Amino acid sequence: MAEMLLRDAMSKALREALDEDDRSFLMGEDIGAYGGAYAVTRGFLEKYGEERVRDTPISESVFVGAGIGSAMIGMRPIVEVMTINFTLVAMDQIINHAAKLSYMSNGQLQVPLIIRTVTGGGGQLAATHSQSFENWYASVPGLRVVVPATPYDALGMFRSCRKDNNPIIFAEHALLYRVKGEVPEEYYEVPLGKARIAKPGTDVTLVAYSGMVRVAEEAAAKLEEDDISSEVIDLRCLSPLDLDTVIESVKKTNRVAIVEETWKTGGFSGTIASDIQEAAFDELDGPVIRINGPDVPAPYARNIEQLMIPSSDWVVKSVKYNFGL
């Protein structure tokens, strides 16, 4: 299998959408002439033209609403919001319209809309550009929330998203675009709602998604040096959530730590921890550990920003201290 950057995997996914489905088009800020804030759509405007690659003003509520409307009449729009922080301006459109129209119309209306957006911190973009809100959207009935951590999953899950008639938040972590991974040349899909065992283990389960998968894998390698075997679960999706894979792992390891970049208060780790307690309480040899960023705005200074994002050393220390390993 050839290796591919996650950025290139997403570019391939978008080209497939435009090449294979005349109903698909792209819409968003700086995706055309500029080539995308993260260079994912470089060259698209020249190849596909303005009808199918539409640059928009800074008006998230308007162009997300336009995407919802076009999806309702049979198009398959892919709307890019430059950063998940900017989706706040379009939350009414996303939550009160995209997520609910199918339910409120008794299935007479469908909204097959994919909202691509960039999440996460670590790039020194300060408090209003370095947040993770995918956990918020995962709490909204009617929305699917996809959080790929590898080029393989980014391409494979996007292909599955294109066949789904639900509105989807497809959140790509800003620091993963340069991550390389093997991607088969032959066609494949990754189903939504099926977690991945990134590394098998027997002593403790580390649950993560998006950018924190790499952190969990690094922590597992460090724990291995002390003969502590960690199983790393990449959730892949927050909605639908594959809890079964997590529970099966907990039954094997009897210990679990959830690693998440966003704030601890209101974090999705709280939902997962509660679900584990309900489904596998008797299997646990200790409390469910939540490793989240602190409840503070993201600082601009790099040295301080790095302190508030969970690191592999942070995970190792927490696992050893809480489980006595």
d(CA 305, CA 309): 7
Q: Of residues 80, 97, 129, 173, which has the active-site annotation?
A: 129
Provide the sign of the torsion angle of the four alpha carbons 154, 147, 247, 191, taken in this order.
negative
| Interhelix angle 243-253/268-280, nearest 10 degrees | 60
d(CA 147, CA 218): 19
Cβ(116)–Cβ(80) under 8 Å? Answer: yes
State the DSSP H helix or E strand holding residue 129, giving kind and residue range, or none if neither.
none
d(CA 36, CA 120): 17
Beta bridge partners of 256: 205
C-alpha distance across the termini of the chain, in Å: 38
Look up 173 and say whether it is catalytic: no
d(CA 299, CA 282): 41
Pairing of strands 144-146, 237-239: antiparallel
The DSSP string of 71-103 is HHTT-EEEEEESSGGGGGGGHIIIIIIITTHHH
DSSP state of 132: -
Look up 186 and say whether it is catalytic: no
Q: Of residues 60, 172, 261, 305, which has the active-site annotation?
A: 60
The DSSP string of 126-193 is -TTTS---HHHHTTSTT-EEE---SHHHHHHHHHHHHT--S-EEEEEEGGGTT-EEEE-SS-----TT
Pairing of strands 2-5, 180-183: antiparallel
Active site residues per annotation? 60, 129
